[in-house]
Structure 1
Amino acid sequence: MTDSPLATATAQILRAEQQPGQKPVIKTFFDEATFTASHVVHDPQTKTAAIIDSVLDYEASSGRTSHATAEQIVAYVKAEGLSVAWQLETHAHADHLSAAPWLQEQVGGKLGIGAAITHVQKVFGKIFNAGTQFARDGSQFDHLFHDGETFKIGALEAIALHVPGHTPADMAFIIGDAAFIGDTLFMPDYGTARADFPGGDARMLYRSIHRLLKLPCATRLFLCHDYKAPGRDTFAWETTVGAERAHNIHVHEGVTEDSFVQMRTTRDATLSLPTLIMPSVQINIRGGHMPEPEDNGVSYIKIPINTL
């Protein structure tokens, strides 16, 4: 069976490689506190932009939020004269809080995420006993993307590809000749994302990764995280399909699905949960909004005991 969305994405990338006007301008902001790469991508012709996987600063010890990281993005957007059309989330992050609602107030843009966020909301809504007041229909977001859905950022062609495995809702956004792939792959020397969160699936992750690796070799891949592999002294967040095929330590050419699943499952069993998973998930499944304040006007994060 033909993978029509993948074929559409491939054709888009090849067109962009031949037409300089279809190549996006990309500026990355790296938050070392959460090892997160947030990307601002814009159309050089119209100055229309999307902000992908933004970070809200959060101090776990005090429960305080701040906007220093997101303010850098705002400053860049304004300095470049960009018009923000989209605030895109590749998935509901478990390691940082999204700054999308605050950025919407500052520079605008519709908030979009994969349609399978409703599954994530149902799973974590139950884990955190969120109650009936927490909607599990994705209504906290302005738009829910489906696999193969095409859209525009100014004159740039874009398409959303569903790449579950790390979570059920992961999406890759292909914009011109660049793919923003969230937590599927890391740099070749670091490997792949974990698949042991509720709703994660190592076998599904392998298949999603190989879907992405069928894109043209020169396709630019922009990652959501980097942790500096042993022996590398600098952070990195851009690679290519060809480099991942040849050198990714977990899924290079020749690695079978079964061997990957065994490796990923064994490795994941040794990993601690992300430091900010409790606040991050509860806020990000709400589209980056805080839980509804209680009768004293304060929002609270729940911590389930002996559950995760």
Structure 2
Amino acid sequence: MASPIVHPVFEPVTGTWQYIIADPSTLTAAIIDPVLDFEPVRSAISTTTADSLLEMVAQNNYRVGYLLETHAHADHLSASRYLQLKLAQSTNPKTGIGKRIVQVQNTFAQKYGVEQPELEDAFDFLWEDNQTFKIGDLEAKVIHLPGHTPDHVGYLIGENIFCGDSLFLPDVGSARCDFPGGDAVQLYHSVQTLFSLPPHYRIYTGHDYPSGDRSEPVPYTTVAEQQERNKHLKIGTTQEEFVNWRQERDSGLSEPRLLHQSLQVNIRGGRLPKNGVLISPFKGVKEVGGVKL
């Protein structure tokens, strides 16, 4: 089986890794976790980052079949809907996310007053655990990886897993578990799922926050490197040790800068509210400017 072509694209404002994965034989592609740019002071959306993905797709003659989300992100807005609209006349790609997005939608619909019709058909596919699908001749498998969020999935494609926020680079460690439905015990077991893969498999992460001696973001490490060096969850770390540390750490974290804007857009599959207004529990409402989605 051919190996996928992987294009990691880093978005530095939110520290997010986006990925274009392509089948070398058919040039069919999928895009994972694309970012829609948002400037919170002006409440303005722009598409510079998403347009750079479209440029890369065009330069390589890829045909995008899927726009894939690992979870409902709380730190950046999804560009899936924008990309779907831009590609509608060429490849008409489908969006996909894990089936437990329904749980997340229900939770935050109540918080932000989102009407049910705005959530219906927000995504084309709600993946079942271990479901497989094709990206050209490549087979992709959906792996449920809860803990950071309950809906979290990874995509196993060839000898690569795109794990979203389930695990970061070894010197960064692991993601927080204090969002609604998050659970440090579940995250511990999700990491064991990742560690059960062959040692040479690559774990591609959803974010990177380089610091210290490492100034450049890195998209992946191998399973073996994570097992040996992850500062929160290397081999030998017990569940009790990790859960106690994670819970203590999470209790002191502030909320993500784009939490409220991201969740309201992302539970809608990358769409804006129909009235163009985002709600903040602390700052009232604010009309969104820029791109219409």
TM-score greater than 0.5 by the shorter chain: yes
Corresponding residue for 1:304? 281
Query: Counterpart amino acid of 2:28?
Result: T
Q: For 1:4-15, what aligned pairs fall within 5 Å after superposition?
A: none
Tell me how far apart the structure 2 counterparts of residues 281 and 45 of structure 1 sit (CA, whole Å): 37
> Per-residue displacement from partner, 1:106-161 (whole Å, max 9, x unpaired)?
233100000000000011111112244443x6x21000101110111111111001
| Equivalent position to 1:74, from 48, 54, 59 | 54
1:253 pairs with 2:235: yes
Query: Counterpart amino acid of 2:42?
Result: S
Q: For 1:272-287, what aligned pairs fall within 5 Å after superposition?
A: 272-287=254-269
- Contact 1:36–1:225 (CA<8 Å) still a contact in 2? yes
1:127 pairs with 2:107: no
Query: Counterpart amino acid of 2:99?
Result: A
1:220 pairs with 2:202: yes
State the secondary structure of the residue aligned to 1:127.
helix
Aligned length: 279
State the secondary structure of the residue aligned to 1:253.
coil
Query: Counterpart amino acid of 1:291?
Result: P
State the secondary structure of the residue aligned to 2:277.
coil
Corresponding residue for 1:91? 71
CA displacement at 1:229 relative to structure 2: 3.8
Q: For 1:1-308, what aligned pairs fall within 5 Å after superposition?
A: 19=1, 21=2, 23-107=3-87, 108-135=92-119, 139-293=121-275, 299-305=276-282
Tell me how far apart the structure 2 counterparts of residues 270 and 206 of structure 1 sit (CA, whole Å): 20
State the secondary structure of the residue aligned to 1:77.
helix
Tell me how far apart the structure 2 counterparts of residues 236 and 218 of structure 1 sit (CA, whole Å): 17
Tell me how far apart the structure 1 counterparts of residues 55 and 277 of structure 2 sit (CA, whole Å): 30
- Contact 1:196–1:268 (CA<8 Å) still a contact in 2? yes
Query: Counterpart amino acid of 1:56?
Result: L
Tell me how far apart the structure 2 counterparts of residues 230 and 224 of structure 1 sit (CA, whole Å): 20
- Contact 1:125–1:134 (CA<8 Å) still a contact in 2? no
Query: Counterpart amino acid of 1:235?
Result: P
* TM-score, normalised by the number of residues in structure 1: 0.88
CA displacement at 1:31 relative to structure 2: 0.7
Structure 1: gaps spanning 5 or more residues? 1-18, 294-298
Structure 2: gaps spanning 5 or more residues? 284-293
Query: Counterpart amino acid of 1:35?
Result: G
